[in-house]
């Protein structure tokens, strides 16, 4: 099996000129697959990253649209399988009794993290993908690279999910933060 080589600086322009015009088409297809604009953006980002990594294996003159859509479809299927495994693990964890009601184990590894009931409820409203990266990076103190390796996605996707998760948590916990004195009342 031949490993894909990293694209060279000479191929930067060719990659950008070839792939960039296809992004809207990829986003439309990703939106049909995921049903969510945020997930579609993540899927397109993953697709472009995979295309970049394997650009040296692309045969110029062949069907770039078909090649990119194949990468998109395969990335979606891989993500679907990963999320299914995560749901199965979450179901197992949910049926196990908790040691203490105020302590939750967020994320795929490490010891339970103590959080208040309000924070736990806010975390539970996040999608599993967002909740996992918050648990890994913010609660467990892991690096973006470590979180990306554990979750099985690019670092940029971890950063994107973390940004959106933090924004959602900030909205949900604003009143709680004001009542607890972490944030000045508006």
Please give the tally of structural domains in the chain.
Answer: 2
Its sign, for the CA torsion 152, 158, 161, 166, is positive
Give yes or no for residue 7 having a pLDDT over 60: no
Quickly state the pLDDT bin for 185 (edges 50, 70, 90). low
Q: Are residues 157 and 118 in the same domain?
A: yes
Looking at residue 37, its pLDDT comes to 92
Structural domain ending residue among the three candidates 54, 83, 112 = 83
Beta strands in 69-169 (DSSP E): 103-104, 113-114
Q: Are residues 157 and 119 in the same domain?
A: yes
Q: Supply the CATH number for residue 54's domain.
A: 1.10.1740.10
Q: Are residues 103 and 170 in the same domain?
A: yes
Looking at residue 30, its pLDDT comes to 92
Looking at residue 20, its pLDDT comes to 87
Instruction: Give the Cα separation of 151 and 112 in Å (integer).
Output: 18
Q: Are residues 130 and 161 in the same domain?
A: yes
Q: Supply the CATH number for residue 141's domain.
A: 1.10.10.10
**pLDDT tens for residues 148-176?**
999 899 989 999 999 999 988 888 888 87
Structural domain ending residue among the three candidates 36, 53, 83 = 83
Question: Is 4 contained in some domain?
Answer: no
**pLDDT tens for residues 108-153?**
444 455 667 888 888 889 999 999 998 888 888 888 888 899 989 9
Structural domain ending residue among the three candidates 28, 59, 83 = 83
Looking at residue 73, its pLDDT comes to 93
- Per-residue DSSP letter, 142: -
Q: Are residues 106 and 175 in the same domain?
A: yes
Looking at residue 93, its pLDDT comes to 67
**pLDDT tens for residues 78-105?**
888 888 877 777 777 676 554 443 334 4
Looking at residue 111, its pLDDT comes to 45
Residue 120 domain boundaries: 99-179
Q: Would the pTM of this model clear 0.75, i.e. be above it?
A: no
Query: What is the pLDDT of the chain when averaged over all its residues?
Result: 79
| Secondary structure of residue 185 in the 3-state scheme | coil
Contact by Cβ (8 Å): 44, 27: yes
Percent of the chain past pLDDT 70, that is, above it, reads 78
Which residues are CB-neighbours of 108 under 8 A, at least 6 positions away?
A: 86, 89, 132, 136, 150, 151
């Amino acid at each position: 099996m031949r490993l894909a080589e990293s694209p060279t600086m000479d191929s930067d322009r060719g990659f950008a000129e070839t792939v960039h015009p296809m992004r809207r088409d990829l986003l439309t297809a990703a939106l049909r697959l995921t049903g969510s604009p945020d997930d579609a953006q993540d899927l397109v980002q993953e697709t472009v990253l995979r295309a970049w990594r394997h650009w040296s294996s692309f045969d110029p003159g062949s069907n770039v649209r078909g090649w990119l859509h194949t990468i998109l479809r395969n990335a979606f299927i891989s993500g679907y399988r990963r999320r299914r495994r995560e749901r199965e693990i979450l179901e197992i964890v949910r049926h196990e009794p908790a040691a203490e009601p105020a302590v939750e184990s967020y994320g795929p590894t490490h010891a339970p993290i103590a959080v208040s009931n309000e924070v736990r409820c806010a975390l539970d409203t996040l999608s599993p993908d967002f909740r996992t990266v918050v648990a890994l990076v913010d609660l467990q103190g892991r690096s973006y690279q470590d979180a990306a390796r554990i979750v099985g996605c690019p670092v940029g996707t971890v950063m994107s999910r973390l940004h959106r998760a933090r924004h959602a948590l900030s909205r949900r916990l604003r009143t709680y933060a004001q009542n607890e004195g972490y944030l000045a009342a508006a």
